[in-house]
Amino acid sequence: MDKKLLLLLGIAFISQATTSLIGGAVLYNPFVTEGNITATMDSFTENAASIYAGVFLQVVTAAVIIVLGTLLYRATEQVNKVAAVIALLFYVFEAILHVVGQSFVFSLVELSQNFSAAGEATLVPIASAMMANRVFAGGIAMIPFGLGAILFYYLLMKSKIIPKWLAIWGLVTVPFVLVGIPLTVFGIAVPFAVFVPYVPWEFFTGAYIIIRHRSIEIPLR
């Protein structure tokens, strides 16, 4: 059972990172024109299928975040159950904000199609507000994510499920995501290079756990 739990944990890490990357970087970001909401609306109308697919994958990401949090809780609760519960709640809150953000994207596609059909100028400020809400929800979601991740990565290190150097990599780099992305929501420019060191962490950690899960010992209950 413990080995199966670890295998699922590794798969969840990679699945969450993959669905988020594809849903955002591949199926959504290419169709957003920064600073030009009408161009974005036209692009959303022309590429509605891609946007819808991206929304679906991001909702899947939210579900996987909850699964990942639950697996992390199961794997680390013996180290500090209170901290593990708090971290899990942060992950659930992140997932909720994630879905809220995607609801604005879904509505924006519908609004964009109406705009293309009718050309109603009054729809433009509504679209701008929807886009702003989507950005806000997605950016603020990084606060509960970052707080939960710091707790879980520390517990993973204490439980020796992952080596100390790998945990430190996550603990050092995730605060930049926790602080940097919410700052961008409020118009403060943060170089993307600040976030790059964290980007491969979930893929690397998931692969490490999958490869080594048979030799990792989970603390006894």
Residue range 183-195, pLDDT digits in tens: 999 999 999 999 9
217, part of any domain: no
218, part of any domain: no
**Among residues 60, 50, 46, which one has the least CA distance to residue 18?**
60
- Looking up tokens 């879980």 gives 152
CA–CA gap between residue 156 and residue 167 (Å, rounded): 7
97, part of any domain: yes
What's the Rg (C-alpha) of the chain?
19
With beta carbons less than 8 A apart as the criterion, state whether 74 and 62 touch: no
CA–CA gap between residue 198 and residue 166 (Å, rounded): 11
Mean pLDDT of 82-87: 98
Global confidence as pTM: 0.94
Domain count, the chain: 1
**Percentage of the chain surpassing pLDDT 90?**
90
220, part of any domain: no
88, part of any domain: yes
**Percentage of the chain surpassing pLDDT 70?**
97
Amino acid at position 113, single letter = Q
103, part of any domain: yes
Angle between helices 81-118 and 48-76 (to 10 degrees): 180
Alpha-carbon torsion angle 130, 136, 18, 208, nearest 10: -170
Query: What is the domain extent for residue 61?
Result: 2-212
26, part of any domain: yes
69, part of any domain: yes
**Among residues 38, 22, 10, 76, which one has the least CA distance to residue 209?**
10
- Helix (H) / strand (E) containing 56: helix 48-76
pLDDT of residue 34 exceeding 70: yes
DSSP string computed for 93-109: HHHHHHHHHHHHHHHHH
With beta carbons less than 8 A apart as the criterion, state whether 136 and 186 touch: no
CA–CA gap between residue 119 and residue 116 (Å, rounded): 6
Model confidence at 1, in pLDDT bands (50, 70, 90)?
very low
Residue 87 token pair? 């971290």
CA–CA gap between residue 174 and residue 78 (Å, rounded): 24
